[in-house]
Structure 1
Amino acid sequence: MSLLRRPYAYSKMEMEDPEEKAHRRAQFLIYKVMERAEDSQSRRRRRPSVLRMRICKLKVKIGKRLKTMRKTMFLSISKARISLYKKIMAQLKILNRLLRGGEAMVSLPPPLCN
């Protein structure tokens, strides 16, 4: 009996219901998750650092340059395709005229001998 009367003495606990134990554990886990969510929100509210802002601006700048470079490349490639197509078509027309024979050539009148 003297053990129970002393301060901070151990006392025997009665057996706990397993459902109640699981419920208490679930409540604890929910509490921990909510606590983490609050911590992450408070971290997000902090003012972003100058370095992060500079990096973000640099990314935007690089992205814009890449976009314009891509557009100019596509434009120049399409122009090159068009010019190549025109050259090929001109060569095919010349080849077609040569294969047809005299139809494409202008026939000259016979020379007049005096």
Structure 2
Amino acid sequence: MALSRRSYTKVDKEDPEDIIHRRAQFLINKVLEKADSRRKPSCLRLRISKLKVKIGRRLMRLRKRIMSGVSAARLGIHGHFMSQLKTWKRLFARGRQSQTLITLPPLIN
């Protein structure tokens, strides 16, 4: 048995450039086979993808409209609230001034 093992010659190491080249050829062939195996996209798939794009655009427009409406409503509410707040401030400020101006007569016992 020992003689038969010695009869095999050790294979020389391959050149690193050859290894890289062989790997690249393998990957190229793999990609080409994948491209050949692909079918032509069906008409139905094209229609569905176009429909998805159309729906997406409509949803985007709807979202923008809603957001602009919400922001407009916020501004309106904010403006109304601020005007009410100013009114209340004026009312309470006048109340304080009128209390300080009015002097009560002293109580006689």
User: Which TM-score band (shorter chain)?
Assistant: 0.5 to 0.7
**Unmatched tracts of structure 1, length 5 or more:** 1-11, 104-114
Matching residue within 50, 54, 78 for 1:85: 78
Question: Could you tell me which residue of structure 2 aligns to residue 74 of structure 1?
Answer: 67
Q: Are 1:33 and 2:27 matched, yes or no? A: yes
Q: 1:63 corresponds to which residue?
A: 56
Q: TM (normalized to structure 1)?
A: 0.61
In structure 1, C-alpha distance between the alignment counterparts of 2:36 and 2:82, rounded to whole Å: 68
Aligned length: 90
Partner AA of 2:30 in structure 1: R
Partner of residue 94 from structure 1, selected from 72, 87, 93 = 87
Q: Post-superposition shift, 1:27?
A: 4.5
Per-residue CA deviations over 1:69-100 (Å, capped at 9, x if unaligned) read 11111111111111111111121121022112
Residue of structure 2 equivalent to 1:3: none
Gaps of 5+ in 2: 1-6, 99-109
Asked which structure has the greater RCO (Cα within 8 Å, sep 6+), the reply is: 1
Q: 1:23 to 1:17 in 2, by over 3 A?
A: farther
| CA root-mean-square deviation | 2.9
TM-score w.r.t. the length of structure 2 is 0.63
Q: Does 1:17 align with 2:12?
A: yes
Using the aligned pairs only, state the percent identity: 33
> What's the secondary structure of 1:19's corresponding residue?
coil
